[in-house]
Every structure is written in structure tokens, then in C-alpha cells.
Structure 1
Amino acid sequence: MSSNQTKSQLFLLLAWLVSMVATLGSLYFSEIRGFIPCDLCWFQRIFMYPLTIILGVGAFQNDLSVKRFVFPMALIGGSISVMHYMEQKIPGFGGIKPCVSGVPCNAQYINWFGFVTIPFLALTAFLLITIFMVLAHVYSKKVD
């Protein structure tokens, strides 16, 4: 096995680990801390949770072809995270669909260091997954 192939596998594994941490983190916030997810949080979960399974299968079977599913899901989920974060941090910014029932989407359960909120954490995870997948793709194409 070449060193570039090993690096590609490592980046695929790292993407899976990030998705696992994000999934377990969201479950921790809702199930243990009791934070009720808003509508936009649910949409982000809809895109993150399947990534855990898809990337897990890809990582353990060393199948980089999962990227065709991972990239769109990570980019869409990340876009939702950006919109959600803007709704939280930009006064007067209303999303495309304002939350009208349940927890308002501009509620901030956490606000670490004045900028780290749950949508920020989700965005970070989606970005890391995308970066690791790009690196896995690049190293899979390189010849030693």
C-alpha cells in the first residue's frame, strides 16, 4: 500500500470521526442537557446523521466513492448552519422560513467565547468533513 493511499484512508477515517463527534455531540445537547432542537437544528441533523453511516462504511471498506454522497450533504448541511448562525448573530436577520413554533431558531443555548454556538459547531464539523474529503480525494489521485 502506498503512502498516498494510506493518507487518503486516514483522511476518510478523520471525516468519519468528525461526523461521529458531531452526531454524539448533538445527541448530548438534546438528550442529556435537555436542549430542544429548533427547526434549523433538525435540518442540520438530517444532513449530519447519515454522514456518520456513509463515512463509516466508506472508512471501513476503504471506499472513497462515498464522496459523491458526502460532498453534497456536507455542503448543504454547512449552508444551513451558516444561515442558522446568521440568524443567531445578526440582529434582525430572519431566515427564509422564520421559526413560528417551538424553540426559536435565534435562541442560543450555548455561546462560548461570544461566538461558538451549536450551529457554529455544526458548521465546523461540516467544513472539516469537506476538507478531509477533499484531501482524501487529492491523495487518492497522487502517484507515489
Structure 2
Amino acid sequence: MQTVKQKLNLLDYTLYLAWVVSVVATLGSLYFSEIMGYIPCELCWYQRIMMYPLSLILGIAAYTNEKNLKKYILPMSVVGGCISLFHYLEQKVPYLATIKPCTRGVPCNVDYINWFGFVTIPFLALIAFILITLLMAWTRPNGARSDG
């Protein structure tokens, strides 16, 4: 019979899972721009500015098992999520498209993909930022007890 410590505990892998989410999001954004040829708008660039460093920081943290970094990751993921949410709403709510935060290049209310009628690139980024935020919120710092 297995003891509690021998059982697979998902909370022990939250840092690694957050890193995987950030890498998938980073590679997905590069796929859309470099392979598919979709030109990123200004809000897309701001989301990338928040996501790309997460791949590097979370990768190093997962490799070294450094879990005491919520104060660095959470602000980036929350700000990135807010940008993604605004961008998604700008695509889906016609009134918000009149605000026009994108003044140069591609308009921010253009959706290159629209899977199932609601899944757009900012929606995918929003899901990634939400997952990273939740996983980091569940990550136990180094030295925290896992029996509780």
C-alpha cells in the first residue's frame, strides 16, 4: 500500500507545468507570425513582451527547482492576462474597437483565426496567462511542507 508521500502529487509539478504552458504559448505565437505569416499588432507585441521572458525564467526555475519566484512571475502573467483580455474584448465587442489602441500597422480588432466562433489568438494567450497564474498560485515555495 502506498503512503501519501509516494503518491503522485500534481502540486509538486506546478512549476514545470507553468513552464510547459509558457513554452507552448511562445512557440504558438512564433508559429502564427513566422510560419503562417500573421503580422502581430501592437497589443500582440505587448502580450509577447509578457510571455517570452516567462519561458526563460520558468525554464531556469524548473531546471533548478526554484519555487520562490511568485513575486516575479505573477505580475507578468497578470499584466499579460489583462492585455489579452482587453485585446480579446476589442475583437469581440464592436464598441471597444473604436478605442483604437493600435495606431500603427495591423488593427488590433482583426482576428486572423476564429475557431469555433470564439477562439482567437488573444483568447489563446489569455488562457495561457490564466493557466500560468493559477499554476504559480498553487506552487509551494521551497521549504514548504507538503503534508498539509
Query: TM-score, length-normalised on structure 1?
Result: 0.90
RMSD: 2.3
Relative to 1, partners in 2 of residues 1:17 and 1:11: Cα closer, same or farther, differing over 3 Å?
same
Choose 61-70 or 28-37, whichever is displaced more: 61-70
| 1:45 matched residue in structure 2 | 48
In structure 1, stretches of 5+ residues that fail to align are none
Q: Is it true that 1:106 corresponds to 2:109 in the alignment? A: yes
Structure label with greater radius of gyration = 2
- Report what 1:19 is aligned to: 22
Q: How far is the alpha carbon of 1:16 from its aligned partner?
A: 0.1
Report the alpha carbon displacement of residue 7 of structure 1 after superposing the two structures with TM: 4.0
- Residue identity over aligned pairs, in percent, reads 57
Residue 135 (structure 2) aligns with: 132
Count the aligned residue pairs. Answer: 143
Q: CA deviation at 1:66?
A: 2.0
Pick one of 82, 87, 90 that aligns with 1:79.
Answer: 82
- For structure 2, the 5+ residue unaligned runs are none
Cα deviation for residue 117 of structure 1 reads 0.2
Amino acid at match of 2:39: I
Shift of 1:137: 2.8
In structure 2, how many angstroms separate the alpha carbons of the residues matched to 1:51 and 1:95?
31
Cα distance in structure 2, aligned partners of 1:3 and 1:53 = 30
Give, as a single letter, the amino acid of the residue that structure 2 aligns with 1:107: V
Distance in 2, matches of 1:124 and 1:138, equals: 24
